């Protein structure tokens, strides 16, 4: 209230309450959510696989526009034709939050969650995290999954060709 008198009270009040008319802008600049993603999937042994993923936001913390949150995850999994079990372990929300999850696939049915800590810890959960999926194409094909690799183009080393 200092500096307000009868001569300037209207201008000062408008400034305090921000009631001045703003200049109308017909354009603005905002960046898109730019992110560097690295994802590696590795076949360790028989049915054992591992996936490592890192997603690093390239936008500044206070940048105007959408941003994506950075995370790093490691997901070991057991995978066969009718059964798959994966346990994602993630440092999410700019590497500040530890999450662990579980995914189970039985044939065409998938059920899982990327964050089970809210279910088992006495923390303060702030939402539900879960998903379910059913593959109608797999059901239509009678449960047959497409082979991951086609026929080998390499000749059998025991095969002998004769040239006439």
Cα–Cα distance measured from residue 52 to residue 88, given in angstroms and rounded to the nearest whole number: 9
Quote the pLDDT of residue 122.
56
Residue 100 near residue 89 (C-beta atoms within 8 A): yes
**pLDDT by 10s per residue, the chain, length 164:** 666 676 777 777 777 777 767 677 778 777 787 899 999 999 999 999 999 999 999 988 787 778 888 999 999 999 998 999 999 999 998 899 888 999 999 999 999 998 887 777 655 556 678 999 998 887 676 656 555 555 544 444 444 444 44
Cα–Cα distance measured from residue 60 to residue 34, given in angstroms and rounded to the nearest whole number: 10
The candidate with the shortest Cα–Cα distance to 114, out of 135, 95, 94, 128, is 128
Cα–Cα distance measured from residue 78 to residue 98, given in angstroms and rounded to the nearest whole number: 22
- Cβ atoms < 10 Å from Cβ of 90: 19
Quote the pLDDT of residue 13.
74
Cα–Cα distance measured from residue 96 to residue 121, given in angstroms and rounded to the nearest whole number: 17
Place of tokens 């059901």: 139
Report the predicted TM-score, pTM, of the whole model to 2 decimal places.
Answer: 0.62
Cα–Cα distance measured from residue 128 to residue 116, given in angstroms and rounded to the nearest whole number: 9
């Amino acid at each position: 209230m200092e500096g307000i008198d009868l001569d300037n009270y209207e201008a000062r009040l408008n400034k305090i309450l921000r009631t001045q008319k703003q200049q109308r802008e017909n354009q603005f600049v905002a960046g898109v959510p730019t992110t560097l993603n690295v994802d590696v999937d590795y076949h360790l042994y028989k049915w054992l696989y591992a996936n490592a993923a890192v997603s690093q936001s390239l936008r500044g913390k206070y940048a105007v526009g959408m941003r994506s949150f950075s995370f790093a995850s490691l997901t070991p999994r057991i995978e066969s034709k009718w059964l798959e079990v994966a346990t994602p372990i993630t440092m999410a929300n700019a590497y500040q939050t530890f999450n662990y999850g579980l995914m189970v696939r039985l044939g065409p049915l998938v059920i899982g969650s990327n964050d089970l800590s809210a279910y088992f810890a006495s923390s303060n959960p702030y939402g539900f995290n879960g998903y379910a999926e059913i593959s109608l194409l797999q059901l239509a094909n009678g449960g047959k999954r497409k082979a991951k690799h086609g026929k080998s183009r390499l000749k059998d080393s025991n095969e002998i060709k004769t040239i006439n």
